[in-house]
Amino acid sequence: MDDFIARPDGDLSWLVSRGEAAGDAGFTPFMESVDALLMGRSTYQAIADQDDWPYLGRPVHVLSSTLPADVDPRITVHRDVAAAVDVLSEAGHRRVYVDGGRTTRAFLEAGLITELTLSRVPVLIGQGAPLFGPLSADIELEHVRTEVLGGGMVQTTYRVLPRADATPESVARAV
Amino acid sequence: MDDFIARPDGDLSWLVSRGEAAGDAGFTPFMESVDALLMGRSTYQAIADQDDWPYLGRPVHVLSSTLPADVDPRITVHRDVAAAVDVLSEAGHRRVYVDGGRTTRAFLEAGLITELTLSRVPVLIGQGAPLFGPLSADIELEHVRTEVLGGGMVQTTYRVLPRADATPESVARAV
């Protein structure tokens, strides 16, 4: 609820412990709708620590300047956003699920996010890794749908409106 | 959407400009349901700058260590939270609308907020005055209702669950 997606040490138990009440939260149809995933190293490590690898066989790409390329056969490691975007584009992936705070912020700033789905868990944790952060200009959203899920989770999907100043060059600079 | 309730300089035009699309946003029945208002100095000054004083004659209390006591005949100035709570209690005000980031955080921490209504405007402004912030412990909420308003504003009301460690003494310490 307060924009933090993990505790300062990366702990997600405040979220994972609510899994049963929330049910699938639309995750399966959402995963079926994407071609691939892209996340940052912190998000990858938080997920890799869980029992479950919930990505239905979709290719998982991870941004990291430090992880060894062969750290995990389930993932492909990229050293920066531009390299990841190149590989995803060349593979023909049109709809990529971008996850994690830093990665989402970089893609928002680059104008590469077209749709944003937020699932708000009814708890204030007070500190940790934020989802949102500084931007070079406002980003306008358009409400698409809101659903109240089990456990009081409120899930809203927005369309991200193009920024007035977005050009291919600004995207190239941003990544 | 990103937890900022005003720009760094206090500007609210990103919010106020959407007023017409959002309609009343339930404000009138909500105001009719409260006995009094309490807000911080920043919120007061942002509202005082607008044409409209929308509080339907309810007593408005403002927390400030710097505002002169006679600055505005529409308000009562208090120097700290404890003084404000004393006056509101003695006046028999049971349901007080607490507004503004710092004031809301102080009352949340003190266990004095029983209900939280958030109206999320579909825009990311990137920086400014936050609504939420550090807490001495998690605060659990219970979803009461969610409504999608005009202009894509999503309004959710939560019940604030009592903190495990809350006692009258901890409240006294916190204020």
- Could you report the average pLDDT of every consecutive run of 10 residues in chain A (175 residues)? 94 86 84 96 90 92 97 96 94 95 95 95 96 96 96 96 69 50
Q: Average the pLDDT over B61-67 and give the result.
A: 97
Structural domains for chain B:
4-174 (3.40.430.10)
Please give the pLDDT value at position B145.
97
Cα–Cα distance for residue pair B77/B66, rounded to 1 Å: 9
Please give the pLDDT value at position B175.
46
CB contact under 8 A, B126 and A143: no
Which of B7, B15, B124 to mutate to test binding with chain A, by most A CBs within 10 Å of its CB?
A: B124
Q: What is the mean pLDDT of chain B?
A: 91
Please give the pLDDT value at position B169.
57
Please give the pLDDT value at position A167.
60
Contact residues on chain B for A12, CB-CB shorter than 8 A:
none
Cα–Cα distance for residue pair A65/B18, rounded to 1 Å: 42
User: For B71-93, what is each residue's pLDDT tens digit?
Assistant: 999 999 999 999 999 999 999 99
The set of residues, in sequence order, having a beta carbon less than 8 Å from that of A117 and lying 6+ positions away, is: A30, A155, A156, A157, A158
Please choose, from the candidates A161, A115, A119, A128, the residue with its C-alpha nearest in 3D space to the C-alpha of residue A22: A119
The set of residues, in sequence order, having a beta carbon less than 8 Å from that of B150 and lying 6+ positions away, is: B21, B22, B23
CB contact under 8 A, A154 and B143: yes
SS3 B175: coil
Which stretches within chain A are classed as H helix?
Answer: 13-16, 19-22, 27-32, 41-48, 81-90, 101-109, 168-174
* ipTM rounded to 2 decimals: 0.90
pTM of the model: 0.90
Chain A: closest CA distance from residue B24 (Å): 18
In chain B, the residue whose alpha carbon lies closest to the alpha carbon of A158 is: B122
Checking if the pLDDT of B67 tops 80, the result is yes
In chain B, the residue whose alpha carbon lies closest to the alpha carbon of A128 is: B134
Environment class of B13 (CB within 10 Å of its CB; exposed 0-12, middle 13-18, buried 19+): exposed
Cα–Cα distance for residue pair A72/A92, rounded to 1 Å: 23
Nearest to A126 among B1, B135, B148 (CB): B135
Please give the pLDDT value at position B1.
95
Q: Average the pLDDT over B103-120 and give the result.
A: 95
Checking if the pLDDT of B170 tops 80, the result is no
